[in-house]
Amino acid sequence: MVLTDEQKAEIAVNRANYEKLKAAGQGAAPRALPDLTKKDGAPIPDEAIIARETVPGGWYFYGRLDRGDSLRLFSADGSAAVSVVAWNVHDVSERINHADTVKVQWSAALRKGRVILSDMGRVVFSIVEDTCGAHDALVGGSTAATNAKKYRGDFRNTRDNLILAAGKLGLSRADLPPPVTFFAPLDVDSSGRFVWEAAKRANGDFIDLRAEMDLLIALSNCPHPFDPAPDYAPGPLDLTRFRVPVAADDFCRSAGAEAIRAFENTNAA
């Protein structure tokens, strides 16, 4: 689509207004996000590990995290795309909300230093470590229809996996919010189209999610709908549940006014 000069001018005005509101929302002097984690960085002490599990490509996982627990998602071969949903154990009507996560932080770029919010303005996860920095908070996961169209066959998909996981947690498909998908290097180009930046994920990528409330979680390890790979061949996902003390200067809890307010809401619950 070719834009007229008038349309371009309107876009420029809207962009300027957005940047002004973004600056106000993040505070007068927002902290710069930390560098991505190095592949050999952030080793987990043996005594901190609670459990380990491997999720084969195409399969799912469900379970519980207590407040303060962390979950490391590790993609050994760099091909995993992990769609995650979570609920407050004590009130499952409170759940992960990707729209508020993007809106409150004025960014769809999830990475180290960001938080993931619930639909009640509280913090579900802090992203404590992250080697990849390329995750999807906009599109969501695959369905039977997207897989059939793409792979010309019947393959396991994110939507059905999450329905199965929710059922084993005593929940139904009505309880499922849209997921956030990690190791999904989806970007938006200047024309507003989604683009897949394959070079942004690699062998040995990992991300650490720290639970900021008691959670039920479900995740699916299936290819993202925008992954251009022609074959259905998701690699395994290694999970490590562990618990380490929260640093006094923890970045996620003090990144800006909106993050501070979200943690105040969380702590007041």
Write down the pLDDT at residue 25.
57
Write down the pLDDT at residue 216.
98
Q: What is the pLDDT along the chain (269 residues), one digit of tens a residue?
A: 577 888 777 887 777 776 676 666 555 445 688 999 999 999 999 999 999 999 999 999 999 999 999 999 999 999 999 999 999 999 999 999 988 888 878 777 899 999 999 999 999 999 999 999 999 988 989 999 999 999 998 999 999 999 999 999 999 999 999 999 999 998 888 888 899 998 999 999 999 999 999 999 999 999 999 999 999 999 999 999 999 999 888 999 988 888 888 999 998 87
Residue ranges per domain, the chain?
A: 49-268
Write down the pLDDT at residue 29.
45
User: Tokens in use for 127?
Assistant: 């992203």
Write down the pLDDT at residue 255.
84
| Encoded amino acid at 179, one letter | P
User: Tokens in use for 219?
Assistant: 């995740």
Summarize pLDDT for 152-199 with one digit per residue, the tens: 989 999 999 999 999 999 999 999 999 999 999 988 888 888 999 989
Write down the pLDDT at residue 27.
54
Contact 60, 165 (CB under 8 A): yes
Write down the pLDDT at residue 239.
98
| HEC per residue, the chain | CCCCHHHHHHHHHHHHHHHHHHHHHHCCCCCCCCCCCCCCCCCCCHHHEEEEEEECCCCEEEEEECCCCEEEEEECCCCCCEEEEEEECCEEEEEECHHHHHHHHCCCCCCCCCEEEECCCCEEEEEEEECCCCCECCCCCCCHHHHHHHHCCCCCCHHHHHHHHHHHCCCCHHHCCCCEEECCCEEECCCCCEEECHHHCCCCEEEEEEECCCEEEEEEECCCCCCCCCCCCCCCEEEEEECCCCCCCCHHHCCCHHHHHHHHHHHHC
CA distance 201 to 227: 12
Task: Pick the closest to residue 124 from 195, 58, 71 (CA basis).
Answer: 71
CA distance 259 to 251: 10
